[in-house]
Chains A and B, each alone.
Chain A
Amino acid sequence: MSAAETDAADTPAPTRAWYLRLMRDPSALVAALFLLAVCVVAVAAPVLSPHDPFASSRSVMVPPVWAETGSWTHPLGTDGQGRDILSRIFWGTRLTLVIGLVSVGIGGFLGSLLGLLAAFRPGLDPWVMRLVDVMLSFPAILLGLALVAVLGPGAGPVIVALAIATVPDCARIARSIAVSVMNQEYIEAGRALGLPARQLFLRYLLRNCVSSIMIFISLRFGQVILIGAALSFLGLGARPPTAELGMMAAQGRDFLLFAPHIAVIPSVMIFLIVLTANVLGDALRDVLDPRLRS
């Protein structure tokens, strides 16, 4: 308990109200609310879906409700197999978010660990950075293709590929921040006090780098969702009948000239998620980055 209290006392005062300052930015507020809504929809997909997202029906290619022949039975219409697009959007968003969050989480964790270690133990630095260079020379899409060839298509290989693709970028960012932190006087002071390496790493280094890394990860999230959707679009991601936004867009391609809503609706959803994730990431940086704090 006492450790937690000291931690709180250590935190510099202005970061405490970071979320309040974030909310003052109207675009960030809208983005945050939208993402919150998306998360709620994703979590509650089984409850919210008006239809079974995997059950096909005889009413195929029904247009959305705003079209002349649309109806409220299928507010966003149905796809080429007669499945309700709204329900599939809910389920697809769920999977897309899971893919994005898990891969960014794993990749971000491993990447920042590598970067921080490289800065903390200069002996490791050349090894870690050469490894990162090797990983950076491999495009995520190519990596995804190779993994799917080995593991077979599915959401799992996509998550692994995206996580691996996130590691090198994150390691570089974390290292560059950590190196500058390592030069700070309080690190010297900690050393002089004879703090064990573990404490120095966790309490001094990590805590001073974490906000900058979080900014990077939040910006990376949008990118990862985009690459994940691209992999699914290429048929490497989720397997049918699972719904995934990129895959839904790919399946709608055949109907583009006749029933454009099948491809357009999931594409718009991807666009909105990525856009709001980026806007929010930007706003987070404005609020959290000490260098931008005036």
Chain B
Amino acid sequence: MKTKALTLAALLLGTSLAQAQEITIVREVDSNNYDPHKTTSRAASEVLFMLGDTLVSLAPDMQTIEPGIAESWEVSEDGTTYTFQLRDDVAFCDGKPMTADDVVYSMNRWTDPETKSPVAWRAGEVESVTATGPHTVEYKLKAPFSELLYQLTQSFGTIVDQANVEALGDDFGVSGFNGTGPFCWVEWTPRDKMIVERHEAYTWGAPFHENTGPASMQRVTWQIVPEENTRTVAVLTGQSQISQYVPYIALEQLKSAPNVEVVQSDLAFWTYFMGFKIDKDTVSDPAVRRAINLAVDQEAMAEDLFFGVVQPAYSYVSTEALDWNSDLDAQLLGYDPEQANALLDEAGWTRGDDGVREKDGVRLAPTAYVFAGSTWGKISEAVQAYLREIGVDLQIQAFDATVAWGKLATQEFDMFGMSYPYVSSGDALNLYFRSQNMPTPNRMNWNDARTDELLLAGSTAITDEERADSYGQVLEIVHEAAVWLPLYHEPMVIAQSTDLETVVPHNIYGAGLYKGLDLKFRD
């Protein structure tokens, strides 16, 4: 009888311990799929970092490249050949060992034009990727690409399993995903939740993790909760143990709650901006674009709308980012509505009876396309109010995320709202300002031969100085032309239960929890 009771107790204890190793993470939106080569969403990256691995990893300082699947690598002197020495103990979730062939397949699928990957450019101009041994991969480029290692840390470089890709076909990353990451795919219910389970054999975590595997959590559920107050309450009541999607307005309340801890990292490169389609009548005049930049008070927005958590932005990339041109610091456009009005008067834009400016029959009423939702709702209305002061009548059109991306690929709008992650100035500039990236993501129609030339020079530069110089010049050109209205830089803020060990926020592509290896309940 006594033994029976003991067994029962042990059983109960066992189940409660097992239950304790599960967490729920709440977030705002889901991804359209979880195929690393076919989506650019942050929601996909968050999960893919957990499900899969990349050749190299990025340390939380956002600068240092550390080993991943590759334990070491060499770069040839001309910067075009990278030789990766892979670990020999890596296995997929289904137990199959990972070899150089899997890496070769993954890289080729990423860059294959047939994959139609929107992120193929991130792999550089690949000449060939070949396996020179069972655990050696040679990555040859047509031209040097100084950012290659940074790009290879992104979720787009996740190693996939050829047999899995071929077996699932179009359902790859939708009904399943066989990866080598610390967690394995269990089930995805779109717009509801994604469930992943611990990969028991995982031992190859990057050295900067406290725990290099297997993960401490047995099961992780990514739950979609679109409404921000509901997410706050979920974290406060313990329905969710951790989330980076908490509204700034709730931070004070979360900080004062005894069961919640808030961690923040300012090493985040995630910038919100509004871009101008520079060939539209309303915003083709650089004076108009400069005036709009001068009219908006980013500091007041950061304080009043985002409670001082975000940093006002006057530059297109964070001034902390690699290769930022500090000569530009003094030229950035601050808040000066008087100068803005003077600039417009001078350029011949005169106010009509309703206070809206006009010139040559063009009414200064640009249409802006933004994402529907509270964040862009707040931002665009605030900008609209500032622009009224200088006689610009901003028309806001908000679209649900499901249609917004399509709308933003058209030529219908004059301005657009966007936010994006980057690892360096070069990363940001190559994404948005290359002429071949029109109409999207170069939605500004910025078509400048000099920019293209300098971007190419920057990405093929062999020395750091050369690269910084080329990108610095591009930064000067686009800031001078006022192609964007920068708004703010968003830090990484994570609210977590005090039951968990304090996490170190990671900012890679805005995926704050990165591999999830250090998610651990306190003893």
Contact surface of A with B, Cβ cutoff 8 Å: 54-56, 58, 60, 80-83, 152-153, 235, 239-241, 251, 253-258
Spell out B's residues near A (CB within 8 Å).
227-229, 232, 247, 249-250, 253, 300, 304-305, 372, 374, 377-378, 380-382, 384-386, 388, 395-398
**B247: chain A residues within 8 A (beta carbon):** 254
Across the interface, do B385 and A54 meet the contact criterion of CB distance under 8 Å? yes
Complex: chain A residue closest to B375, CB-CB: A254
**Quick one: given A55-B385, A257-B250, are A152 and B397 in contact (CB under 8 Å)?**
yes
Task: Find chain B residues with CB under 8 A from A54 CB.
Answer: 385, 388
Q: How far is the CA of A253 from the CA of B249 in the complex (A)?
A: 12
**Contact pick for B380, options A55, A240, A255, A257, CB 8 Å:** A240
Contacts of B229 in A (CB 8 A): 253-254, 256-257
Q: In the docked arrangement, what's the CA distance between A58 and B377, Å?
A: 17
Residues of B within 8 A of A153 (CB): 397-398
Cα distance, A251 to B229, chains bound together (Å): 13
- A253 vs B227: C-alpha distance in the bound complex, in angstroms? 9
**Of listed B229, B304, B372, residue having the most chain A CB within 10 A:** B304
A58–B300 touching, CB < 8 Å:
yes
Q: For residue A152, which residues in chain B have a CB less than 8 angstroms away from its CB?
A: 397
Q: Which one of A81, A239, A254 lies within 8 Å of B385 (CB-CB)?
A: A81
A55:B388 contact, CB within 8 angstroms: yes
- Contact partners of A239 in chain B: CB under 8 A: 395-397
Residue in chain A with minimal CB distance to B247: A254
In whole angstroms, what is the CA distance A60 to B247 when docked? 16
Question: Which of B249, B304, B381, B398 is in CB contact (< 8 Å) with A241?
Answer: B381
Q: With A81-B378, A254-B247, A258-B249 given, is the CB distance from A240 to B384 under 8 Å? A: yes
Cβ B253 vs Cβ A257 within 8 A: yes
Q: How far is it, in angstroms, between the C-alpha of A258 and the C-alpha of B382 when the chains are bound?
A: 20
| B232 with A80: CB separation less than 8 A | no
Distance in angstroms between the alpha carbons of A187 and B353 in the assembled complex: 58
Contact B398 A235 (CB under 8 A): yes
Q: A239-B395, A257-B249 are in contact. List 9 more A-B contacts (CB 8 A).
A: A54-B388, A56-B382, A56-B385, A239-B397, A240-B377, A241-B381, A254-B228, A254-B374, A257-B232
Complexed CA–CA distance, A60 and B372 (Å): 22
Centre residue among B253, B381, B386, B398 by max chain A CB count within 10 A? B381
**Min C-beta distance of A261 to chain B, whole Å:** 14
* Cα separation A240 to B381 with both chains bound (whole Å): 7
Some 28 contacts from A to B, beta carbons below 8 A apart, are: A54-B385, A54-B388, A56-B382, A56-B386, A58-B300, A58-B304, A60-B305, A80-B305, A81-B378, A81-B381, A81-B385, A83-B385, A153-B397, A153-B398, A235-B372, A235-B398, A239-B396, A240-B377, A240-B380, A240-B381, A253-B374, A254-B228, A254-B229, A254-B374, A256-B229, A257-B229, A257-B250, A258-B249
Give complex CA distance A174, B107 in Å: 71
Instruction: Give every chain B residue within 8 A of A253 (Cβ-Cβ).
Output: 227, 229, 374
Q: When the two chains form their complex, are residues B385 and A255 in contact, meaning their CB atoms are under 8 A apart?
A: no
Please name the residue on chain A nearest to B396 by beta carbon: A240
Chain A residues whose CB sits within 8 angstroms of the CB of B253 once the complex forms: 257-258
* A56→B382 CA distance, assembly (Å): 7
Closest B residue, CB atoms, query A256: B229
CA distance A277 to B253 in the complex (A): 40
Q: For residue B378, which residues in chain A have a CB less than 8 angstroms away from its CB? A: 80-81, 254
Closest to B400 in A: A235
User: Of A55, A83, A152, A235, which is in contact with the most chain B CB atoms at under 10 Å from its CB?
Assistant: A235
CA distance A255 to B378 in the complex (A): 12
Q: How far is the CB of B237 from chain A (nearest CB, A)?
A: 13
Complex interface: chain B residues within 8 A of A258 (CB): 249-250, 253
* Cα distance A255–B377 in the bound complex, in angstroms: 13
Tell me whether B384 and A241 are in contact (CB under 8 A).
yes
- Residues in A with CB closer than 8 Å to B228 are 254
Q: List, in ascending order, chain A residues with CB within 8 A of B250's CB.
A: 257-258
The reply to whether B385 and A241 contact each other, CB–CB distance below 8 Å, is: yes
- In the bound complex, CA of A82 to CA of B386 (Å): 12
Query: Can you list the 3 inter-chain pairs with the closest CB atoms, starting with the nearest?
Result: A56-B385, A60-B304, A254-B374
Which residues of chain A come closer than 8 Å to B304, judged between CB atoms? Answer: 58, 60, 81-82
CB distance from B403 to the nearest CB of A (A): 9
Closest Cβ–Cβ distance, residue A128 to chain B (whole Å): 37
